[in-house]
Structure 1
Amino acid sequence: MGNRQDICILGGTGNVGYAAYKALEKSNYYFRIGVRNRDKAEKMNLYKRDNVQLFEIDLDKSSSVNEFCDGANIIIGAIGPSTKYSEKMLKIALEMKIPYIDPGGMYLKNKYSNREIDITAIVGAGLFPGVSGWLLYSELKRRGGKQLIEIVIGGKYNFSRGAAIDYVEEIKENTAGVPMACIRNGNIVPASSMVPSNIISDVCGLAFLPYVTEEIQEIIYTNEALNIDAYTAVPKEMFTTLNKLYGKNEEIIKYLVKGNNSNQRGIIQFKRISENETKTIFIRGSNPGDLTGKILAISANAILYGKKKRGIFTMANYLSDYPLIDKLKGIKGFEYREEVQYA
């Protein structure tokens, strides 16, 4: 094969998987696209190039998966729900010694922390988790001293059934974070403020829940992060409906999948407040699923052309020295604004 690079994408007909392919197709890669139904995928006519092969994949049948992955350079796992499939995909990558990238799978970081890992695996490689953690981690590395960091993540976006199931699993046991909490002196404590301060117009009209995500917990336990106010932001009508449906898991899934936001936007508002200045960064993605696929593509290139590290990493950690924002600025639908106010 020489210098040929083969990329396997599991979940090729989904929004995230297809966006990852489109972001990578201009490079001289060969693609193996894993789909649940090959006939349906062929009728969708998404993959027309000679360097693309379609595979009908059943993750419960190792023989089809082994043929799909054999000799590949990287596996991108874009199948949901993450709670059901992320570990299965990671195990395949480990068995076949192929680097792996997943937009979810944050729980795998701790689950496999004491095991010897012979590959590079990046989890939480999306918008949030992903870019949100990268911003926090990068700012913590640049600045020390006493400061308050405020981060708001969320927006308006469409849920796939897989994403909706993940959401239900997360809120059922609070495995993805701690609601109504913030960070003070490096410890998780009850939230000191129920709403973010000085929100910008793009965030107005959303409801807020103080929420220390699993991604933020990972960062504060390995860095000197003293004071953080973190919030999840969703449309007010969604917040009200989810409260009414609390505990009715299947109804929540149906509601989330049924919702159709034609004006999608994923947002991150980041503020670092110190004695001398307030730095605000605002990130917006017009289609969060599409942007997540492109972030997976950036992570894939970072693994293929960067120095390899063995183990399971969050994207925030693995790409901490990578010019992620510069890469994202060249992507259609990505908006970045930065403002500094001096005291």
Structure 2
Amino acid sequence: MTAARIEENRSHPRLPDLLGAYHLANQAERGRAVAGVSGLAGAYRVEAEDPVGAFAGDTVLLATPVGAEEPVGCVVLKASGEGRGPEIKRLWVAPGARRRGIARALMGEALRRAEAAGEPVVRLTVWKGREEPLALYRSLGFETVESWDERPDLLCLERRLDVVERLTPEAVRAHAAAGLAALLVDAVDGGASVGFLAPLETAEAAAWWSRVAEEAAQGERDVWAAHGPDGRLSGVVTLVRTGAANGRHRGEIARLLVHRSARGRGLGRRLLAAVEAHAAATGLRLLVLDTQTGSPAERLYRGAGWTAAGTIPDYAADPAGTLRATTLYYKRLG
């Protein structure tokens, strides 16, 4: 977990210094060192001197380490244009603050913003030979593509983003035996307490999702899934509606699953946000859920504004059969 706070602020008084340092270091690295910001080429100088104007309409993120008063890093997510997706620019972390995961945190938030906006792809450029940033981009799923910039020694990279959408009952049936079953098996294999013991057979997982499809057809459960550009499912979450007459104002979040290969990209938060938005739009005023006490999911729920109502010891067995405590959470909507 990165010890840094990420905020959006084009007018932060520290931003001109961060952008100026970025451009000066970049020019020096390319053998074009200048004495100060005033010696930068026009467009670069404008960015350092007037980031509010230079990045109007763009998303500017800053990172401040916990316990620090000033940001030490920044990144810009430029808005889509000319038929292309948004572009990540000006990723910079002050030398003294590096090796703390701040660059990765900035990139992660930029990607989450793009995904939340429904963008199908994010692009960026990096100079050949810059092995450290290139390694970071590769680890985040960026791949080299045909160049859209004619400058020599400049690599163009893109990353396709996951799409979150509500599944129809027919789609749940279609994915039950493959993608959805694989997500449930992966969760149990990874030790998640989601109602099953290990080893979970694919057929049993598929049968459970087939029952979910019937519940969806009856209006008892809604299902959202995340999938990549190849159509492969990377995450899922369901919303169960209460049948009791005195509980029709509330719903329960169940089976929030993100495949282990897709974690760290904010998918859990996006899936949760999609459910919450739909629940509010359809008249629900209260959501509840339970999760294994001490599990990584607790950080997600607390960070998304959920409140812990209490803990029950020995509530459910984990996949290995050991009884574990469960924490109950709730969130008021509207």
On whether the aligned pair clears a TM of 0.5, the verdict is no
Larger Rg: 2
Question: Under a length normalisation based on structure 2, what TM-score does the superposition of the two structures give?
Answer: 0.27
Q: Which has the higher contact order (CA 8 A, sep 6+)?
A: 1
